[in-house]
Amino acid sequence: MQIDIRAMELLASRLCHDLVSPVSAINNGVELVQDIGGTVVDEAMKLIGDSAVHAAHRLRLFRASYGRAGGEENFPIRDARHIAEQYLAGGKVNLTWPEDQPSEEFAAHRGVLKVMLNMLIMSEEILAYGGTVTVRSVPNGSRFEIAGRNAQVNPTIEAALAGTTGVEELTPRSIQAYITGKFAAHFELKLTHEQPVTDRLDMILATA
């Protein structure tokens, strides 16, 4: 799979941006303990602990979504589901991912779970105001039902997802769609979307 240097730079910028907040919070907690101590220790330790867990969950998702591990054929469904649940825990997006989703036959196709985790990151971006993501089975694939205020794919994201956007036109907001589409194509999977009702977007991943 060929990825342009600019695309990699944008993706790296995005990852760093997503990790800055929890890592900075850890640093702030340490500084509170060092500078003030006393009665703020308990509060600072909670901040450090919560932020460390948050950072660890994001790193685990990024490793599976962008690294080699997520594309291996022996990547368990339960691990992908657990990573997704941890990533969204405590946030504005609620996830419903039943234990029987996706089917073992579909999940056995190389790269399926990796692309699904990338779809999850896209879903969180789409649900800027919060909402729900529900994973369901469809013939030869899986569907993400993304419901919430303004749940839709704008033309810029649609072009990035389809791979028709010039690399020089990619932005931090569209890079995730671009990478998700690239992974789907690389693993010979078909990724489509439809808008059945207002404020609900369905993304469907299936074998090509």
Please say if the pLDDT value at position 5 is more than 90.
no
Provide the pLDDT for residue 182: 92
Strand pairing category for 93-96 and 141-147? unpaired
The mean pLDDT of the chain is 88
Please say if the pLDDT value at position 208 is more than 70.
yes
Mean pLDDT of 55-71: 85
Provide the pLDDT for residue 3: 65
Number of domains forming the structure of the chain: 1
Domain that holds residue 22: 5-207
Would you list the DSSP string of 38-70?
GGGHHHHHHHHHHHHHHHHHHHHHHHHHHSSGG
CATH number of domain containing 69:
3.30.565.10
6-20, 30-44, 67-81, range with the lowest pLDDT = 30-44
Please say if the pLDDT value at position 34 is more than 70.
no
Provide the pLDDT for residue 49: 79
Burial of 200 (C-beta count, 10 Å sphere; 0-12/13-18/19+): middle
Q: Shortest CA distance to 80 belongs to which of 123, 135, 11, 131?
A: 135
Percent of the chain exceeding pLDDT 70 equals 94
Measured CA to CA, the distance from residue 90 to residue 22 in angstroms comes to 14
Mean pLDDT of 167-182: 92
Strand pairing category for 131-138 and 189-197? unpaired
* DSSP H/E element including 202: strand 200-207
Mean pLDDT of 70-81: 85
At 4, the pLDDT band (50, 70, 90 cuts) reads confident
Provide the pLDDT for residue 2: 58
Please say if the pLDDT value at position 36 is more than 80.
no
Q: Shortest CA distance to 148 belongs to which of 93, 91, 90?
A: 93
pLDDT tens digits, one per residue of 125-136:
999 999 999 999
